[in-house]
């Protein structure tokens, strides 16, 4: 049977069972044709490339089921396959696998959905980065999320096992921070909140009470006395003088409690400076870098279970579309630094010469990912190409173009009146609408613009550009 006709037969996928119990796979063969292996090595020797598989791991009979599941998730060929488990799964296994096999209502349907999503993931392009792999995995495994696992050896006290196995560079803490900053993932449930050392972002902290006067650790509880004649407060033992009580500060003899002295509320004494106090100062000492911090200065960090955000799902399906914007780099392109420099220069020139007018236009192509998602990568790229050609026709030889943060394209229009900027911005906006004509989408992006007439004396280029960016968000 050829590979193609095999895929079209009744059995859409095969099950690979890992177990050391004889007959483990028998119960599974009603669902799909099943092969049983004792370990990954044995499977790897017999596996056929290109086969559509789902794994079922018998947690009870294998010596190191976690290692096996990690091996699958790290394996470039098999990591995207479904991994179901049978038996008691610990937190770490649950974070890496697709859940208990018993809980899956329709395994073959689930396997089909997953492989269909996987095929279309990343716009059908090969994965180039750890982000591509992770996003495609979360997208094609509908029941998977980034699950934190408590771990006292982890810098932030929690770890994400899925990030750990897929990690290629950075550390997983950095990776997760990047995913959050780019809003590719979003918190689903808050699991815990930890506090980190602001110096090194470790969560291993030791809290100690110290003397509020001299920060000494040597503090203890001791009865104290309060002298009425001078107000001195100190440990009782320093008032004792040959069976009498006298104040070590003013030397007054203290005879009657309530008249000459009383017991103060302060009952802690510092062994170094003898200061008496009610509550010690609390310091958080970092066991990683040794710094001591006020507890209020620690950085709180919410530990969440994360799932793909709307933006993350879009990137998972279409792939990173940043490279498509490169076609705009043909149009009078200058680097963002030079662009800002020329913009600053024009602003300064305007202060000396009243007749100087210029304009700034921001094209925000935020609809591109959706275009790729709707039309596919090839037609989407062609659409961007033809848009770039039409923008080129509108831009004068003296206008400057730059590109920041992938989907933002900037135009600097020297010697252009406020009306001139309005007109060009209007044409570009029309272009963004026309370019998606005949598709179900309404526009490819938005245009924001400003004439130098509206910029204040005090502003520099960075401030003006930041203002346009904030309008585009």
Residue among 72, 121, 184, 270 that touches Zn ion (CB under 5 A)? 270
Is position 250 an interface residue for Zn ion (rule: CB under 5 A)? Answer: yes
Is position 347 an interface residue for Zn ion (rule: CB under 5 A)? Answer: no
Nearest partner of 372 among 360, 381, 362, judged by Cα: 381
Q: Determine the interface stretch with Zn ion among 283-291, 338-346, 373-381, 396-404 (rule: CB under 5 A).
A: 283-291
**CB-CB neighbours of 220 under 10 Å:** 10
Residue that the structure tokens 């897929």 belong to: 166
Nearer to Zn ion, 232 or 449 (CB): 232
Residue among 52, 61, 142, 249 that touches Zn ion (CB under 5 A)? 249
Sort strands 261-262 and 224-227 into parallel, antiparallel or unpaired: antiparallel
Q: In the stretch 184-213, what mask flags binding to Zn ion with x, by CB under 5 A?
A: -------------x-xx-x--------x-x
Nearer to Zn ion, 192 or 218 (CB): 218
Residue that the structure tokens 């709707």 belong to: 374
Residues near Zn ion (CB under 5 A), total: 22
Nearer to Zn ion, 270 or 362 (CB): 270
> Are 162 and 147 spatial neighbours (Cβ–Cβ below 8 Å)?
yes
> Phi/psi at 43 (nearest 5 deg)?
-65, -45
- Output the 3-class SS for 37-77: ECCHHHHHHHCCCCCCEEEEEECCCCCCHHHHHHHHHHCCC
Q: Determine the interface stretch with Zn ion among 89-97, 249-257, 318-326, 460-468 (rule: CB under 5 A).
A: 249-257
- Angstrom CA distances, 365 to 142, 319, 470, stand at 29, 16, 15
Is position 283 an interface residue for Zn ion (rule: CB under 5 A)? Answer: no
Is position 232 an interface residue for Zn ion (rule: CB under 5 A)? Answer: yes
Residue among 135, 286, 362, 368 that touches Zn ion (CB under 5 A)? 286
What tokens does 115 get?
């492989």
Helix (H, G, I), strand (E, B) or coil at 266: coil
Q: Determine the interface stretch with Zn ion among 40-48, 146-154, 220-228, 255-263 (rule: CB under 5 A).
A: 220-228
- Closest contact distance (angstroms) between CB of 194 and Zn ion is 13
Q: Determine the interface stretch with Zn ion among 43-51, 280-288, 376-384, 444-452 (rule: CB under 5 A).
A: 280-288
Is position 216 an interface residue for Zn ion (rule: CB under 5 A)? Answer: yes
Q: In the stretch 116-155, what mask flags binding to Zn ion with x, by CB under 5 A?
A: ----------------------------------------
Is position 289 an interface residue for Zn ion (rule: CB under 5 A)? Answer: yes
Calpha distance 269→400 (Å, rounded) = 71
Nearer to Zn ion, 259 or 457 (CB): 259
- In 246-318, at which residue ranges do the beta strands (DSSP E only) sit? 261-262, 268-270, 276-277, 281-286, 292-293, 299-308
CA angle 75-81-85, nearest 5°?
A: 100
> Phi/psi at 95 (nearest 5 deg)?
-75, -20
Nearer to Zn ion, 44 or 200 (CB): 200
- Closest contact distance (angstroms) between CB of 58 and Zn ion is 43
Calpha distance 296→100 (Å, rounded) = 43
**CB-CB neighbours of 91 under 10 Å:** 12
Nearer to Zn ion, 272 or 472 (CB): 272
Residue that the structure tokens 């252009």 belong to: 416
Residue among 227, 343, 384, 455 that touches Zn ion (CB under 5 A)? 227
Residue that the structure tokens 């192509």 belong to: 365
Nearer to Zn ion, 184 or 197 (CB): 197
Calculate the CA dihedral of residues 375, 381, 384, 386 and round it to 10 degrees: -100
Radius of gyration (C-alpha) of the chain in whole angstroms = 34
Residue among 135, 137, 247, 343 that touches Zn ion (CB under 5 A)? 247
Is position 288 an interface residue for Zn ion (rule: CB under 5 A)? Answer: yes
Q: Name the residues that contact Zn ion, by CB under 5 A.
A: 197, 199-200, 202, 211, 213-214, 216, 227, 229-230, 232, 247, 249-250, 270, 272-273, 275, 286, 288-289
């Amino acid at each position: 049977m050829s590979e193609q006709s095999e895929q079209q037969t009744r059995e859409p996928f095969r099950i690979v069972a890992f177990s050391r119990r004889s007959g483990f796979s028998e119960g599974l063969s009603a669902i799909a044709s099943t092969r049983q292996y004792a370990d990954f090595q044995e499977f790897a020797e017999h596996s056929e490339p290109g086969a559509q598989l789902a794994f079922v791991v018998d947690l009870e009979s294998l010596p190191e089921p976690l290692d096996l599941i990690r091996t699958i998730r790290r394996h470039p060929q098999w990591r995207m396959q479904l991994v179901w488990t049978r038996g008691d799964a610990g937190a770490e296994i649950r974070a890496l696998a697709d859940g208990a096999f018993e809980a899956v209502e329709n395994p073959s349907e689930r396997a089909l959905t997953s492989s269909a999503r996987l095929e279309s993931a990343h716009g059908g392009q090969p994965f180039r980065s750890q982000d591509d792999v992770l996003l495609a995995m979360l997208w094609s495994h509908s029941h998977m999320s980034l699950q934190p696992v408590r771990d006292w050896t982890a810098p932030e006290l929690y770890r994400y096992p899925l990030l750990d196995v897929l990690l290629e560079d950075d550390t997983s803490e950095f990776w997760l921070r990047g995913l959050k900053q780019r809003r590719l993932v979003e918190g689903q449930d808050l699991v815990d909140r930890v506090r980190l050392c602001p110096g090194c972002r470790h969560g291993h902290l030791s809290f100690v009470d110290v003397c509020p006067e001299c920060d000494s650790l040597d503090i203890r509880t001791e009865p104290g006395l309060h002298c009425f004649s001078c107000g001195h407060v100190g440990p009782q033992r320093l008032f004792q003088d040959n069976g009498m009580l006298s104040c070590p500060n003013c030397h007054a003899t203290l005879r009657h409690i309530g008249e000459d002295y009383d017991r103060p509320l302060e009952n802690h004494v510092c062994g170094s400076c003898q200061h008496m106090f009610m509550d010690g100062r609390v310091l958080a000492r970092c066991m990683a870098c040794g710094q001591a911090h006020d507890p209020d200065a620690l950085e709180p960090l919410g530990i969440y279970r994360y799932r793909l955000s709307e933006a993350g799902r879009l990137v998972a399906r279409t792939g990173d579309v940043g490279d498509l914007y490169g076609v705009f780099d043909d149009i009078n392109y200058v680097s963002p630094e030079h662009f800002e420099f020329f913009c600053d220069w024009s602003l300064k020139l305007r202060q000396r010469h009243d007749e100087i007018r210029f304009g700034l236009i921001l094209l925000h192509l935020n609809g591109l990912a959706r275009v790729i998602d709707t039309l596919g990568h090839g037609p989407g790229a062609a659409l961007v190409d033809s848009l770039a050609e039409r923008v080129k026709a509108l831009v004068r030889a003296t206008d400057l173009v730059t590109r920041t943060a992938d989907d933002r394209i900037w135009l600097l229009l020297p010697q252009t009146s406020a009306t001139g900027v309005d007109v060009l911005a209007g044409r570009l906006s029309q272009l963004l609408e026309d370019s998606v004509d005949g598709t179900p989408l309404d526009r490819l992006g938005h245009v924001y613009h400003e004439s130098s007439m509206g910029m204040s004396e005090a502003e520099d280029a960075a401030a003006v550009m930041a203002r346009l960016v904030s309008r585009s968000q």
